[in-house]
Structure 1
Amino acid sequence: MTKDTDAANATTLSGRAGFLLSELGSRSAGRFAVRLGPLGIAPKHYGLMELLSRNEGLTQQQLGTTLGIHRNVMVGLVDDLEKRGLAERRRHPTDRRAHAIHLTESARGLLPLARSIADEHETELLSVLDGPERAQLLALLQRLAAQPGRPADVHPGLRGSRP
């Protein structure tokens, strides 16, 4: 490419990283939601179930703090999982005012299926890249995502708002 071509590309949307990340993210999120649909969950439910699978028994407040989610949004997400039979509130063992959130057996059975869907989705999404390119892309994206003020492992859709 020449200097003129580089400058021209930078002024088109396809030459802007922010546009491409947004476009690919939107397309990926939509496809992932469709893939999870038959399981009766959305990506936000899957994300919360993954967090709970690694942190069983956290309170709603702890979940909200960890994810950077307002308490009202967190209550709604836990309510959603509870209505689907995927989570339950139990009395916290040391704080009578709090409830510990636990996955149900149904959720534990659903998680391997959801993980398989997530794996298939990622494979399809990155199918045009070889192994080293995938690793490089992931490393670069993780570096961008690690900027201060960005909670790790939290999608804006899970927080209920856009940054």
Structure 2
Amino acid sequence: MVNRPLDSRGVFLLSQIGHHVAYRFTEQLSRLDLDPAHFAVLGHLAVVDGRSQQELADLLRVHRNAMVGLVDELQERALVTRRPHPDDRRAHAVHLTDHAREMLEAVQSEADALESEILAPLDESERSLLIPLLHRIAAHADLPAGIHPGLQRRRRARRNTQ
């Protein structure tokens, strides 16, 4: 059996780079008193504002109780408001505040800068090849589009420490 060095393995390199990028992005978010789970909720609301907490929980694949906690945290930071849902008397619609929209612009700008920095060694044609390849790998692993697997771990970890 021939031992291959770790840096010759694609899965190791993907993991190493993923960890580096996740750490850097989490660091950027923490300066704004956010974490990736907060960003995920805000990002989904930026696409369709006024979703119910249950819709958000389903989209992000987290337990509804965890979503209530996330929305509570965002509401405490004046980033979202809850209002009666227009179609369901039992539900609350979650809406972004103006403060959240400003914060999202800042986060997007930082995320764009981080992506440019990480992908700097690649030219445009290499970048245009990389993204579809990564999509294929993610789809093969049955990973939901746009949802980071660390989101579920974050919620479990917080529950275990409380």
Question: What is the TM-score of this pair, normalised by structure 1?
Answer: 0.86
Report the residue type matching 2:148 in the other structure.
Answer: H
State the SS of the aligned residue for 1:88.
strand
Q: Distance in 2 between matches of 1:56 and 1:76?
A: 18
Structure 2 unaligned blocks of 5 or more: 155-162
Residues 82-128 of structure 1: CA distance to partner in whole angstroms, max 9, x if unpaired? 11111111111121111111111110111111110010010011111
Corresponding residue for residue 135 of structure 1: 128
Could you tell which deviates more after superposition, 111-120 or 33-42? 33-42
Q: What is the number of residues matched between the two proteins?
A: 154
Corresponding residue for residue 31 of structure 2: 38
Q: Distance in 1 between matches of 2:66 and 2:138?
A: 22
State which of 5, 18, 23 in structure 1 corresponds to 2:16. 23
Alignment of 1:13-162 (within 5 A): 13-147=6-140, 149-160=142-153
Q: Distance in 1 between matches of 2:67 and 2:119?
A: 31
Q: Note if contact 1:68-1:151 (Cα within 8 Å) is conserved in structure 2.
A: no
Corresponding residue for residue 3 of structure 1: none
Q: Note if contact 1:73-1:159 (Cα within 8 Å) is conserved in structure 2.
A: no
Identity of aligned residues (%): 46
Report the residue type matching 1:138 in the other structure.
Answer: I
Q: Distance in 2 between matches of 1:19 and 1:106?
A: 39
Q: Distance in 1 between matches of 2:66 and 2:13?
A: 29
Q: Note if contact 1:73-1:160 (Cα within 8 Å) is conserved in structure 2.
A: no
State the SS of the aligned residue for 1:39.
coil
Q: Distance in 2 between matches of 1:120 and 1:57?
A: 29
Q: Distance in 2 between matches of 1:21 and 1:80?
A: 32
State the SS of the aligned residue for 2:145.
coil
State the SS of the aligned residue for 2:140.
coil
The Cα of 1:35 is off from its aligned counterpart by 2.0
The Cα of 1:148 is off from its aligned counterpart by 6.5
Which protein has the larger Cα radius of gyration, Structure 1 or Structure 2?
A: 1
Give the structure, 1 or 2, with the largest relative contact order (CA under 8 Å, sep 6 or more).
Answer: 1
Report the residue type matching 1:30 in the other structure.
Answer: Y
Question: What is the TM-score of this pair, normalised by structure 2?
Answer: 0.86
Structure 1 unaligned blocks of 5 or more: 1-6
